[in-house]
Amino acid sequence: MKEITIKVNGMVCGGCENRVKNAVSTIEGVEKVEADHNKGIVTVNMKEDISKEIIEEKIQDIGFEVVKE
């Protein structure tokens, strides 16, 4: 299983975390999503290699800002 962490701005509460988790979970191949609004990070575990850009785009589509490193 592969894991990636993405920095996200705009999550301010548990509801925001749930919105991100629900959206990213719809991507085929995603096993588990954890979001932490205090740290501003989203951790994604996947069965197969999924492009980081696809995950970032899904997060941006629901109104959050992805921080590029």
* Domains, in order of start, for the chain: 2-67 (3.30.70.100)
DSSP state, residue 47: S
Residue 63, phi-psi category: left (phi > 0), alpha (psi -120 to 50), beta (remainder): left
Residue 57: predicted pLDDT? 97
Interval 16-45: pLDDT, tens:
999 999 999 999 999 999 999 999 999 999
Q: What are the start-end ranges of the H helices in the chain?
A: 14-25, 52-61
Tell me the pLDDT band of 14, cut-offs 50, 70 and 90: very high
Residue 23: predicted pLDDT? 98
